[in-house]
Structure 1
Amino acid sequence: MILRFVILCALFLFIEFYSYQAFRTLIKLRWVLISYQIISVLLLVFIIYSFTQFDRSVGQTKQFMFTTGLMLLVYVPKIVLTLVMFGEDIFRIGASILNYFMYNAPRKEMMPDRRKFVSQIALGLAAVPFLSLIYGIFEGKYNFKVFRQTIFFPDLPDEFDGFKITQISDVHSGSFDNPEKINYAIDLINEQEADMILFTGDIVNTHAKEMHPWLETFNRIKNYRYGKFAVLGNHDYGEYVTWPSAREKDENFEEIKKLYGKIGFDLLLNENRYIQKEKDKIALVGVENWGVNFKKAGDLNKASENLHQDDFKVLMSHDPSHWEYEIKKHPKNFHLTLAGHTHGMQFGIEIPGYFKWSLAQYIYKQWAGLYEEAGRYVYVNRGFGFHAYPGRVGIMPEITVIELKKGKNVA
């Protein structure tokens, strides 16, 4: 623990030292530089103090999210500054060695001075994440987008050709702070022409009471001809706080399960339903959370009891790692899996149809959008809400509309 603290302090000092170099090269007014140092120290002290006040019996609060946002806002740009300025120092040291061995330069001329234009470039680059993070906090987190996806299946029952599913995921109602924006998102959901709506988990951050102010709002989601169904996400189990007793944790969990019913969703707990349309049917399967690094309550075999291999199946499983490790090669043959969980890390770059990048891709093989292997598909929703960082940059909150079509996919 002490070693970890020492390393963390050294890292912060390293970042502060190099980010300060960029300002010192460009700004010569002493009072401005002193003010910068004082503000930097005060911000660091505030961030450290706020995190030390985190109460595991309460969990994430608005104060915690504010502090997380502030830390990213302060230190992501400073990390950019550090990388550029440290890179310049490597160049300067290389030049110094070259001057010494090849040109016999006088000692005072061996180390080149810092170049003003490098500091200007560093500050320009640092401004990009700084402005992006501000945008993410004030606008991005409620910049809801509708993603439409058509998927072809050769064995889709005829009556389900053109069947549309709306998916939402990762609501995290405890993070909301703008009723007008959430009502707008519900209107956007209701505007989509679909036959069914599926909710793939994480209705709260931790506590059932987080959803209470939003029950009326989410009850505005219209009824669908073929139903409203949901599964649990990892946050729905109350695993990330310290509870006074096991009984209180269990009571909270039972209340969270009831929340889904209170907003009109049929919660599937390792079980399945047949969806009948005229003469044909498909199987809808819902598992509890199963994640490589998170709670493994999902039981795929139990959830698919009484289903046949040749049944067309749509599976809801919150964590996409479940698809990678269990679902895609399961003998019951799950055609389409709908997941969420990753949020795309709420930070990345995405140009739909051309390019997408996020740190999430280094953690999850499937992290946003549609993936296919051997004719089996998983779609990972980018999430409706937000958690920890109170914003979204590049990876916007998502409402998904998936259309099932009969036929072969055109590559």
Structure 2
Amino acid sequence: MIFRFLFLFAILLLIELYAFQAVKTVIKVRGLIISYQIISLLLFVIIVYSFTQFDRSIGQTKQTMITMGLLLLVFIPKILVTLVLFSEDVFRVGAGAVNYFIEYDTRADFLPSRRKFISQIGLGIAAIPFLSLIYGMTVGKYNYRVIKQRIFFPDLPDAFDGFTITQISDVHSGSFDNPEKINYAIDLINEQNSDLILFTGDIVNTHAIEMNPWIEAFNRIKSHEFGKFSVLGNHDYGEYVDWPNQAAKDENFREIKALYGKIGFDLLLNQNKKIKKGNDEIAIVGVENWGVHFKKLGDLNKATEGLTAEGFKILMSHDPSHWDAEINKHVKDFHLTLSGHTHGLQFGIEIPGLFKWSPAQYVYNQWAGLYEKAGKYIYVNRGFGFHAYPGRVGIMPEITVIQLKKGEKLA
């Protein structure tokens, strides 16, 4: 434990030294340099102190999210500066070695002086995530996007050709701080006029009471002709705090399950509901959370009781890792799976139709948007809310509208 602490301290010290070198190389005004040192020290003390105050019996609070945002805001730019200057140091050592050992130029300093323009490049690169993180915390976290997706199925029942589904996921109501923005997002949901709405879990961060200020807003989600259904997410189980006893944890879980009903959603706990339209029907299947890195509570066998392998099924499973691990191997085929959970890590780059990247892709095979294997599809919603980092950079909060179409996918 002590070794790890010392190692982390050494890394942070190295990052601070490199960042200071860049500032000192570019800025020659002594007062500004001293101000930079004082501000850096104060921010470091604030971050360390805030983390030491974290209470496992309470879990995430707005203060811990601000601390996380501050941590990223301070150290990600400095890490980038460190990488640029460290690369320069590798060159400087190489050049010095050539001069000293090969050209035998002992009159010159072993290390060439640090070049100002390299420090300027480092600081310029660092400004990009710095400004992006500020944008994410002030604007990006409520910059809702309606993403529309059309999916073709050869065996879609005729009556459901053109059927529309709105999906929301990962509300994380305990993170909200702007009623006006939330009501705007609810208006966006209602404007889609979909046939059905599905909510794929994580209504809170941990505690049921987090949702209480927002129940009225979410109750404004209008009734959809074919229903409003939901499943639980990993945060709905209260696993990320220390409870005084099991009874308190169980009570919180009961209250969280009740929250979905309070906002008009039918919570499916390893269950299915058949949706009828004309003479045709499809099944909405909902499982409890199942994740490779979390409790495996989803039960596909129980959830599909009374359903055939041939019947058209839409599955709600919060964690997309379930898709590769179990869903695609199950004897009762699932035409479409809807998930969330990843948030796209709330950080990445997306150019629609051209490029999509996030650190989330190194953890999840399916992390944002639509994926297909052998005619089966999964859609991973990027999330409605935010968690841990109080913002979004590049990966915006999402309201998904999926249209089911009968036939083969057009070229």
Confirm or deny a common fold (TM above 0.5): yes
* Counterpart residue identity of residue 404, structure 2: L
Deviations 1:65-92 (A, max 9, x none): 0100000000010011000011100010
* Counterpart residue identity of residue 238, structure 2: G
Cα distance in 1 between the residues matched to 2:8 and 2:341: 29
Secondary structure of 1:293's aligned partner: coil
Following superposition, the deviation at residue 109 of structure 1 comes to 2.9
Deviations 1:266-294 (A, max 9, x none): 00000001100000000110000000001
1:196 aligned residue: 196
Cα distance in 2 between the residues matched to 1:96 and 1:107: 11
Secondary structure of 1:244's aligned partner: coil
* Counterpart residue identity of residue 79, structure 2: I
Cα distance in 2 between the residues matched to 1:107 and 1:118: 25
Following superposition, the deviation at residue 42 of structure 1 comes to 1.4
2:352 aligned residue: 352
2:171 aligned residue: 171
1:366 aligned residue: 366
Cα distance in 1 between the residues matched to 2:269 and 2:173: 21
1:84 aligned residue: 84
Cα distance in 2 between the residues matched to 1:240 and 1:107: 62
* Counterpart residue identity of residue 39, structure 2: I
* Counterpart residue identity of residue 396, structure 2: M
* Counterpart residue identity of residue 163, structure 1: F
Deviations 1:10-29 (A, max 9, x none): 11001101111110111122
* Counterpart residue identity of residue 136, structure 2: G
* Counterpart residue identity of residue 61, structure 1: T
- 2:406 paired with 1:406: yes
Cα distance in 1 between the residues matched to 2:27 and 2:140: 33
Following superposition, the deviation at residue 110 of structure 1 comes to 2.8
2:154 aligned residue: 154
Cα distance in 2 between the residues matched to 1:301 and 1:94: 63
Following superposition, the deviation at residue 296 of structure 1 comes to 1.4
* Counterpart residue identity of residue 229, structure 2: F
1:180 aligned residue: 180
Secondary structure of 1:73's aligned partner: helix
Q: 1:56-135 alignment to 2 at 5 Å?
A: 56-135=56-135
Cα distance in 2 between the residues matched to 1:170 and 1:248: 23
2:379 aligned residue: 379
Cα distance in 1 between the residues matched to 2:401 and 2:328: 22
Following superposition, the deviation at residue 193 of structure 1 comes to 2.5
Following superposition, the deviation at residue 3 of structure 1 comes to 1.4
Cα distance in 1 between the residues matched to 2:134 and 2:46: 19
Following superposition, the deviation at residue 40 of structure 1 comes to 1.1
* Paired residue total: 411
Deviations 1:90-147 (A, max 9, x none): 0100111111122211254331111111011111100000000000000000000000
**TM-score in terms of structure 2 length:** 0.99
* Counterpart residue identity of residue 150, structure 1: R
Cα distance in 2 between the residues matched to 1:185 and 1:206: 22
Secondary structure of 2:225's aligned partner: coil
Using the aligned pairs only, state the percent identity.
72
- 2:336 paired with 1:336: yes
1:217 aligned residue: 217
1:22 aligned residue: 22
When the two chains are superposed, the root-mean-square deviation of aligned CA atoms in Å is: 0.8
**TM-score in terms of structure 1 length:** 0.99
Cα distance in 1 between the residues matched to 2:290 and 2:118: 48
2:233 aligned residue: 233
Unaligned runs of 5+ in 2: none
1:52 aligned residue: 52
* Counterpart residue identity of residue 209, structure 2: K
* Counterpart residue identity of residue 248, structure 1: A
2:292 aligned residue: 292
1:206 aligned residue: 206
1:265 aligned residue: 265
- 2:295 paired with 1:303: no
2:31 aligned residue: 31
Q: Which moved more, 1:14-23 or 1:395-404?
A: 14-23
Following superposition, the deviation at residue 353 of structure 1 comes to 1.2
Secondary structure of 1:6's aligned partner: helix
